[in-house]
Structure 1
Amino acid sequence: MRILLLSHSFNNLTQRLHVELCERSHEVSVELDIHPDVTRESVALYRPDLVIAPFLKRAIPDDVWRGVRCLVVHPGPPGDRGPAALDWAILEGVAEWGVTVLQADGEFDAGPIWVHRTFPMRRAAKSSIYRNEVTSCAVEAVLEAIAAIEAGHEAPASMASDDPRIRVRGPCRQADRAIDWHHDTTVEVLRKIDSADGVPGLTDSLFWQDVRLFDAHEAHGISGVPGTVVAQCDGALARATIDGAVWIGHVRSVGPKSLKLPATKIFASEAAHLPHRPGCGYGPIEYREHCEVGELQFNFYNGAMSSDDCNALLSAYRTALARATKVLLLTGGRDYWSNGIHLAEIEAADSAADESWRNINAIDDLARAIIETTDRLVVSVVRGNAGAGGVFLSLAADEVWASDRTVLNPHYKDMGNLYGSEYWTYLLPRRAGAANAAKITQCRLPMGVAEAGRLGIVDRVLTARGAATDDLVKLAAALASDPDYAARLVDKQRRRAADEAEKPLDAYRNEELRRMRLNFYGFDPSYHVARYNFIHKVPKSRTPLTIANHRSRRERARPTCMAVRS
């Protein structure tokens, strides 16, 4: 089928659908919902068989859904209607939630229901549940709906107006989830912050300053006067509740152009006087050992790795290497493995260029340490999404294991034609070949693990169950006990020595950083403009041609300026 994805942004769900539909040989193009007239134009240009709207903030124009079948993904069960479905579900502490794929008609969220899925709710931030449970159920439901349409099934009937499941709710506003620190329990505080995590964040105050709160976790074994800030750890602040405390990992000041940053960086002087309480429920880096298998787990918020994060992870990595293990798992978080350098901290620095340079060198140091590890096998376990430098950092390991739900974005160019480093010019061609390496970094499209496996940048695909820690440890233990383990290490050491003799790692790094220095300090400000627009969520004025196939074809058909002049 020829399918147009119409979405407010090219978010995680839209990317995952793009990957899954292309993998099934559908012809797919994307249009960002910039203006109703732009939507009409895209439908006229592309003439799709089907429009799928994974993420919209307004209704599809009447003339569009009357002219072509439009399926809308709603992050709620049948009958739930309104723009804040998941917010309310988390805030109310429901045990089960769902996703509905319905056909657009004249009433918002009320068209014929093609498919729905349910899932058990877990205690997590809204952004995490959306990125995992909602996205997985939405993909399954959309594929089932497409199969029914291809089989010639008629649209189901709409729900009756008196159906008891119908529940219409408006936006979830700040007043609906305001925290009362003198009466709310830890569970209630977590629900309120979780319900707003991602967008818009929960409005509150810290040290008499209005802020938005994000990245909340229970603080184990910590208590104090309710409402007071009582401890700090790894960038987070612990604030007491009536029955314990919660960690606030990230905050953003209320006001224009403010940035979401680690709480202790926003309140550095106040945090300096607080006791440091590690191991109490907040810590982005943890090491565990399972006999001959070491597991270094890291979970940085939104996958961004600042200079300090990279240095801390490098220190933890070196400590892990001092242990007598045969396999070391580098296990990323459930939401993200890594998205590379920390653009928000770079944006907040006195000199964005200087901090960019510091950050890229810090992540390069980490990548090099992994590449030069020759006394054991190292495995990157990519359970969440990865982008830009995070993808190439994973390739520094001997093997890459990735969840079948993972979306990779192995390119930098959308960030103002950033060249990239992390030794990608060494790592990527070695795995994918020179021709494929060029295609991967130039195409600027999301990639699923099936394609990544065919290209050689993923070695093992993990199912949802196979990504559980116990199963990962069993797989790693099997590597450690393999009769060919010793021979494999010898081959690894031989190859590393041969590669270094042919072209030293320093040469790759210097060549990459020479290009990166131009991105950071050169006359072309594209990187700095793109970073600013990304961090401050500046709306796009047009859909990028890399994803809008219906527009890129038209652009290629236009005469060049020189041809017009001639």
Structure 2
Amino acid sequence: AELGGRRYCLFNAAAVGEQYGATPGTIVGRNLESIAIACGQGTLWIGYAATLDAKRGPKLPATMVVDAAGAPFLPLPEALAESTYRREGDIGYLTIRSYNGAMHTEQCRRLTAAVEKALTEDTRLLVLTGTEHAFSNGIHLGVIDAAPDPAAEAWANIGAIDDLCAAIASAEQVTMAAFSANAGAGGVMAALCADVTVSRDGVVLNPYYDMGIFGSELHTWTVAGRVGPERAASLLGDKLPISAAEAARIGLIQAVGPRDWSSFRYWLSAVAVGYNEPVSRGRMFAAKERRRAESRPLSYYRTIELAEMARDFFDDRHGFEAKRRAFLRKTAPTETPAKLRFA
């Protein structure tokens, strides 16, 4: 598209029927980092964009690329909403949405606020899940790379997603996280902060960090607590994906539901109702208290992780900058990594 005399590639789009009487191609509104563009018929909302000059620029939240200053606030279409919340009796369902699974600093802060608000509801169980096409892959490498100070942005991003994890882990209600689609790195670890973690069949998990960083998201507490220190070291060190079925077999998650999206949603509701039964809920509260009693304060694990991350971000001791840029620019490796070769 051409906007304001510049060419862009547009992504993460949602069309709505509202007309604002503007010339097609005019930015008529904004909400969070999304922008609304007048069309010949209706309005097109865009969540992400990239410049298209001699070559395509990085794909980033739209307002970080397109000048939308002065555009009025408009209601965001549900298709682009970062989170939606609904209640079914004593159970609350919070659905998070992140484009391609990446969550930048401000988005993490907004999602933390959404979790905290959901936890104030008069419910006994909170279910946190994603969309049919994405769950989460943790921090947003693209926004970090495009920042004036990437190390500072990475530090802010990891702090914000850690706040989200802490909100889930410290909840007084029983919490359940459901992998609705593939997840990696901090996205996997965030879900493991819940009391119960389940998954849709066919989902692939990457429960490790492979970008020259130690990782955070309370993973030093959650992974070993679920599968034991030896298997945790293997998952994090081998850096290989695992299926949802394998994750359930080793105890990383509790259960796997149907692959079909409609069937999975129905299954998830039934599982939540089961955990919300008085006897099951009592057992879950007892397990939650036991887990807390047997662990050190969450701040202990977070402090250790952030001390390592500070060295990775600011001292670049394991090549985070080069690995991040190679990943974002889809640079082909010079050889097949040893872990992927046949013996």
TM-score range, shorter chain: over 0.9
Q: Distance in 1 between matches of 2:259 and 2:316?
A: 46
Q: 1:483 aligns with which of 276, 279, 285?
A: 279
Percent of aligned pairs with the same amino acid: 34
Q: Distance in 2 between matches of 1:507 and 1:322?
A: 26
Q: CA deviation at 1:261?
A: 0.6
Q: Distance in 1 between matches of 2:263 and 2:300?
A: 36
- Which residue matches 1:543? 336
Q: 1:422 aligns with which of 217, 220, 233?
A: 217
Q: What is the DSSP-based 3-state SS (H/G/I as helix, E as strand, rest coil) of the residue aligned with 1:458?
A: coil
Q: What is the DSSP-based 3-state SS (H/G/I as helix, E as strand, rest coil) of the residue aligned with 1:276?
A: coil
Which structure would you say has the larger Rg? 1
Structure 2, unmatched stretches of 5+, are: none
Contact map agreement 1:291 1:325 (CA 8 A) in 2? yes
Q: What is the DSSP-based 3-state SS (H/G/I as helix, E as strand, rest coil) of the residue aligned with 2:310?
A: helix
Aligned pairs, how many? 340
Q: Distance in 2 between matches of 1:469 and 1:234?
A: 28
Q: 2:308 aligns with which of 497, 503, 515?
A: 515
Q: CA deviation at 1:280?
A: 5.3
Q: What is the DSSP-based 3-state SS (H/G/I as helix, E as strand, rest coil) of the residue aligned with 1:381?
A: strand
Change in Cα spacing, 1:365 to 1:523, as seen in structure 2 (3 Å) is: closer
Contact map agreement 1:408 1:448 (CA 8 A) in 2? yes
Contact map agreement 1:222 1:280 (CA 8 A) in 2? no
Q: 2:115 aligns with which of 295, 314, 317?
A: 317
Q: 1:532 aligns with which of 325, 328, 341?
A: 325
- Which residue matches 1:377? 174
Contact map agreement 2:12 2:48 (CA 8 A) in 1? yes
Q: CA deviation at 1:362?
A: 0.6
Q: Distance in 2 between matches of 1:377 and 1:220?
A: 40
1:238 aligned to 2:36? Answer: yes
Q: CA deviation at 1:382?
A: 0.5
1:499 aligned to 2:297? Answer: no
Q: 1:460 aligns with which of 233, 255, 259?
A: 255
1:265 aligned to 2:64? Answer: yes
Structure 1, unmatched stretches of 5+, are: 1-203, 554-566
Q: What is the DSSP-based 3-state SS (H/G/I as helix, E as strand, rest coil) of the residue aligned with 1:483?
A: helix
RMSD, matched Cα? 1.8
Paired letter, 1:435: E
**More relative contact order in 1 or in 2 (CA 8 Å, sep 6+)?**
2
The farther-off stretch of 237-246 and 293-302 is 237-246
Q: Distance in 2 between matches of 1:359 and 1:483?
A: 39
Q: Distance in 1 between matches of 2:285 and 2:316?
A: 46
Q: Deviation string for 1:414-467 (max 9, x for gaps)? A: 212x11001101110000100100000011111101111122112110112465
Q: Deviation string for 1:102-160 (max 9, x for gaps)? A: xxxxxxxxxxxxxxxxxxxxxxxxxxxxxxxxxxxxxxxxxxxxxxxxxxxxxxxxxxx
1:397 aligned to 2:190? Answer: no
Q: What is the DSSP-based 3-state SS (H/G/I as helix, E as strand, rest coil) of the residue aligned with 1:445?
A: coil
Q: Deviation string for 1:541-564 (max 9, x for gaps)? A: 211111122xxx4xxxxxxxxxxx
Contact map agreement 2:50 2:56 (CA 8 A) in 1? no
Contact map agreement 2:180 2:203 (CA 8 A) in 1? yes
Change in Cα spacing, 1:357 to 1:230, as seen in structure 2 (3 Å) is: same
Contact map agreement 2:3 2:25 (CA 8 A) in 1? no
